Structure 1
Amino acid sequence: MSATLGYSDVEVGTLIPEREFRVRREDLVRYCGASGDFNVIHWNDRAATDVGLPGVIAHGMYTMASAARLVTDWAGDPGAVVEYGVRFSSFVPVPDDDTGAALVVSGVVAKKLDDNQVVVNITVRCDGTKVLLGSRATVRLA
Structure 2
Amino acid sequence: MAGRQFQPGDVIGPLVKPPVTKTQLVMYSGASGDFNPIHTVDEYAKEAGLGGVIAHGMLTMAFVGQMLTDTIGLEGDLRKFGVRFTGMVRPGDVITCEGQVTETRKDGEQQIVSCEIWASTQKGDKVVIGQAEFAVPIV
Interval containing the TM-score (normalised by the shorter chain): 0.7 to 0.9
Report the 3-state secondary structure (helix = DSSP H, G, I; strand = E; otherwise coil) of the residue aligned with 1:102.
coil
Other-structure match for 1:137: 132
Code of the residue aligned with 1:14 in structure 2: it is D
Using the alignment, how far apart are the partners of 2:84 and 2:70 within structure 1?
22
Matched residue pairs, number?
Answer: 132
Other-structure match for 2:57: 60
Code of the residue aligned with 1:15 in structure 2: it is V
Name stretches of at least 5 consecutive residues in structure 1 with no aligned partner.
95-99
Cα deviation 1:103-128 (Å, max 9, x = unaligned)? 11111111113422101211211121
Q: Give TM-score scaled by structure 1 length.
A: 0.86
Q: 8 Å contact 2:75–2:136 — kept in the other structure?
A: no
Using the alignment, how far apart are the partners of 1:72 and 1:78 within structure 2?
10
Q: 8 Å contact 2:76–2:136 — kept in the other structure?
A: no
Q: Give TM-score scaled by structure 2 length.
A: 0.87
Q: CA RMSD in A?
A: 1.6
Report the 3-state secondary structure (helix = DSSP H, G, I; strand = E; otherwise coil) of the residue aligned with 2:3.
coil
Runs of 4 or more off by more than 4 Å in structure 1? none
Q: 8 Å contact 1:125–1:132 — kept in the other structure?
A: yes
Using the aligned pairs only, state the percent identity: 38
